[in-house]
């Protein structure tokens, strides 16, 4: 589902809270990946173990490092997008924060990863005073 549809269905405040929770889940996953990576590096002992053990530890550490990088990237992207929209979620006319309905959003496909940063804007309508503006 697109960001515009999610905001329209959940409301901005719940969408924003969900984005913060999801981004911090990625942060925890990245931290766990870092711990596994560093543990794998610590376990490397060329003199005591077989080559198969060495290879297994290297593969696990590499996978953990890759997961750590992906989790860190997703954390940054989701948090930045949520903060970008939250910075403009205040109605310019009546100063109500997060009280609006979605009119339109920049087109995005289901294949767009969060790293694409789409949508860059969402057109909204204030529920209190009727003003229109763009989020993002």
Q: Are 54 and 40 in contact (CB under 8 A)?
A: no
pLDDT score for 131: 93
Looking up tokens 């009727």 gives 130
Q: Where are the domains of the chain?
A: 3-135
DSSP H or E stretch at residue 51:
helix 51-87
pLDDT tens, 85-118? 999 999 999 999 999 999 988 776 666 666 666 6
Give the span between the Cα atoms of 57 and 43, in whole angstroms.
7
Q: Which residues of the chain have pLDDT under 70?
A: 1, 46-47, 108-118
Q: Which residues of 83-104 are buried (b: 16+ CB within 10 A; e: fewer)?
A: eebbeebbbeeeeeebbbebee
Enter the pTM of the model.
Answer: 0.81
pLDDT score for 133: 92
């Amino acid at each position: 589902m697109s960001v515009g549809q999610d905001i329209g269905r959940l409301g901005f405040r719940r969408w924003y809270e969900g984005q913060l929770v999801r981004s911090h889940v990625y942060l925890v996953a990245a931290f766990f990946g870092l711990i596994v990576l560093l543990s794998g590096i610590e376990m490397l002992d060329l003199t005591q173990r077989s080559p198969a053990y060495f290879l297994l530890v290297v593969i696990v550490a590499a996978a953990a490092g890759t997961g750590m990088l992906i989790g860190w990237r997703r954390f940054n992207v989701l948090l930045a997008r949520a903060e970008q929209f939250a910075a403009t979620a205040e109605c310019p006319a009546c100063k109500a924060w997060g009280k609006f309905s979605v009119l339109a959003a920049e087109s995005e496909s289901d294949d767009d990863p969060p790293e694409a940063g789409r949508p860059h804007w969402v057109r909204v309508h204030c529920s209190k005073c009727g003003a229109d503006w763009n989020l993002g």
